Amino acid sequence: MSFCLEVQGDYACFTRPEMKVERVSYDFITPSAARSVFEAILWKPEIRWQVERIEILAPVRWISVRRNEVGAVISTRNVQTAMTAGQGQLGLYIEDERQQRAGLFLRDVRYRLHARITAVKGEALHNPAKYAEMFSRRASKGQCVNQPYLGCREFDARFRLVTSPHGEPEPCVDVDGDFGWMLYDMDFSRPADPKPTFFRARVVRGVLDLSGVEVRS
């Protein structure tokens, strides 16, 4: 069964993987980011979400922000030592590791996301309606497992369940054309070594149709 969500936020950043230092966003939401919005409302190991269509409802607007980030993580070796000895140095001093970086983000974004539930195992194979009803109930009440976000966790997403197309805004026709290769999702067929997959993002009058897209590693 397919569902539709309208998602919007003040800021978003769907980071291009080819940018190594500065964060630069794609022009609009990626399929993997769209999937994570649905999973934030309902995630079960028995199901998978398949994003079928993305409608861009607002013009693409950019904002450049310079912000402070931490340029290091706590050492895995220190963590293992602390677990073995029962004590250790696990602190990370922000003042020593602070880095100032620029980012090119999106602002005032708004999308309509279409996705369907795919049963993969267990009860979902025999009773898919249960999961559909569960999602509808949670989404209509604004409930979620964790706060949905738009690329970065600090950019929270507001969502609502769309039950009928009547009275809904039309996609932004100014967003049109070939936007090049875009991240599609991560391939977890080998859990120890996940690989990114990409597709050619072609938008027609504000609509990105993901049915039948060719995905490449």
For residue 13, give Cα distances in angstroms to 64, 94, 103. Answer: 11, 23, 9
Render pLDDT for 115-157 as a digit per residue (tens, 0 to 9): 999 988 888 888 889 999 999 999 999 999 999 999 999 999 9
Q: Which residue has the tokens 């602390």?
A: 82
Contact 189, 196 (CB under 8 A): no
For residue 73, give Cα distances in angstroms to 16, 168, 193. Answer: 22, 45, 21
Render pLDDT for 11-60 as a digit per residue (tens, 0 to 9): 999 999 988 778 899 999 999 999 999 999 999 999 999 999 999 999 99
Tell the burial category of 64 from Cβ atoms under 10 Å away from its Cβ (0-12, 13-18, 19+). Answer: exposed
Helix residue ranges, H only, 42-158 = 76-85, 94-97, 123-126, 128-141
Q: Which of 65-69, 90-94, 123-127, 158-162 has the lowest mean pLDDT?
A: 90-94
pTM (2 decimals)? Answer: 0.86
CATH topology of domain 2-67+104-189+198-209: Alpha-Beta Plaits (3.30.70)
Mean per-residue pLDDT, 175-180 = 96
In a 3-state reduction of DSSP, which class is residue 22? coil
pLDDT of residue 84: 86
Q: Measured between alpha carbons, how far is 25 from 132 in angstroms, rounded to an integer?
A: 32
Confidence of residue 69 (pLDDT cuts 50, 70, 90): confident
Q: Measured between alpha carbons, how far is 76 from 92 in angstroms, rounded to an integer?
A: 13
pLDDT of residue 94: 80
Look up residue 111 and give its two tokens: 């999308």
Render pLDDT for 72-104 as a digit per residue (tens, 0 to 9): 888 888 888 888 888 777 777 887 878 888 899
Q: Measured between alpha carbons, how far is 30 from 159 in angstroms, rounded to an integer?
A: 16
